[in-house]
Amino acid sequence: MSEGRAAAGRILIKGGTVVTMDPAHGDLDRGDVLVENGRIAQVGADLEAPGAEVVDASGKLVIPGLIDTHLHMWQHPLAGLGADLWSDEDYGIKVFPVRERFTARDMYESTYTCAVEALSRGTTTVLNFCHNVLSEEHAEESLRAHRALGQRVLFAYGMLGHMDRLAAEHGSRLAHLDRIRGELAGDRDGLIRLGIGVTSLEYGGMELVRKEIEYGREHGLMMTIHQNPPGQILEMHQNGLLGADLVPVHANVATDHELGLLGACGCCVSFTTEGEFGGGRSMGVIARADRAGVRPTLGVDVPSAVAVDMFSQLRITLNIMRAVEAQVEREAGRWPLSRHPGSPLVSARRVLEYATVNAARAVGLADEIGSITPGKQADLVLLNTGPFGIGVGDPANHIVLQSTAADVDTVLVAGRFQKRAGELIGVDMEALPRLFQGVRGRVLGVS
68 vs 301 by CB, closer to Zn ion? 301
Q: Pattern 276-315, binding to Zn ion, x per CB under 5 A?
A: -------------------------x--------------
Residue 98 exposure: Cα atoms within 13 Å on the Cβ side: 23
Minimum distance of Zn ion from residue 186's CB (angstroms)? 30
Minimum distance of Zn ion from residue 72's CB (angstroms)? 6
Minimum distance of Zn ion from residue 326's CB (angstroms)? 28
Q: Pattern 250-269, binding to Zn ion, x per CB under 5 A?
A: --------------------
Partners of 343 in the β-ladder: 340
Positions in 96-135 near Zn ion (CB under 5 A)? none
Minimum distance of Zn ion from residue 73's CB (angstroms)? 11
Listed residue (316, 108, 81) closest to 324, CA to CA? 316
Sequential DSSP letters for 96-109 = GGGGGG--HHHHHH
302 vs 412 by CB, closer to Zn ion? 302
CB 83 within 8 A of CB 305: yes
276 vs 407 by CB, closer to Zn ion? 276
DSSP-derived secondary structure letter, 407: G
Q: How many residues bind Zn ion (CB under 5 A)?
A: 1
86 vs 335 by CB, closer to Zn ion? 86
177 vs 300 by CB, closer to Zn ion? 300
- What are φ and ψ of residue 427, in 5° steps? -115, 130
Q: If residue 234 lies in a helix (H) or strand (E), which one and from where to where? A: helix 232-238
9 vs 230 by CB, closer to Zn ion? 230
Sequential DSSP letters for 134-182 = SSHHHHHHHHHHHHTS--EEEEEEE----GGGTTTTHHHHHHHHHHHHH
Positions in 70-89 near Zn ion (CB under 5 A)? none
Instruction: Return the residue nearest Zn ion (CB atom).
Output: 301
Minimum distance of Zn ion from residue 275's CB (angstroms)? 8
Minimum distance of Zn ion from residue 131's CB (angstroms)? 7
39 vs 99 by CB, closer to Zn ion? 99
47 vs 253 by CB, closer to Zn ion? 253
CA 357 to chain centre: 12
**C-alpha dihedral sign at 396, 398, 399, 401:** positive
Positions in 392-421 near Zn ion (CB under 5 A)? none
**C-alpha dihedral sign at 317, 318, 319, 320:** positive
Distance separating alpha carbons of residues 222 and 247, to the nearest angstrom: 8
DSSP-derived secondary structure letter, 45: S
Minimum distance of Zn ion from residue 71's CB (angstroms)? 8
Q: If residue 257 lies in a helix (H) or strand (E), which one and from where to where? A: helix 256-264
Minimum distance of Zn ion from residue 271's CB (angstroms)? 11
Positions in 125-184 near Zn ion (CB under 5 A)? none
CB 436 within 8 A of CB 56: no
CB 306 within 8 A of CB 300: yes
CB 358 within 8 A of CB 297: yes
Distance separating alpha carbons of residues 76 and 40, to the nearest angstrom: 32
Listed residue (338, 250, 335) closest to 294, CA to CA? 250
269 vs 424 by CB, closer to Zn ion? 269
Listed residue (151, 105, 77) closest to 302, CA to CA? 77
Minimum distance of Zn ion from residue 89's CB (angstroms)? 16
301 vs 379 by CB, closer to Zn ion? 301
Residue 401 exposure: Cα atoms within 13 Å on the Cβ side: 16
Minimum distance of Zn ion from residue 299's CB (angstroms)? 8
Minimum distance of Zn ion from residue 301's CB (angstroms)? 5
129 vs 417 by CB, closer to Zn ion? 129
Minimum distance of Zn ion from residue 207's CB (angstroms)? 23
258 vs 301 by CB, closer to Zn ion? 301
Helix (H, G, I), strand (E, B) or coil at 23: coil
Contact set with Zn ion (CB under 5 A)? 301
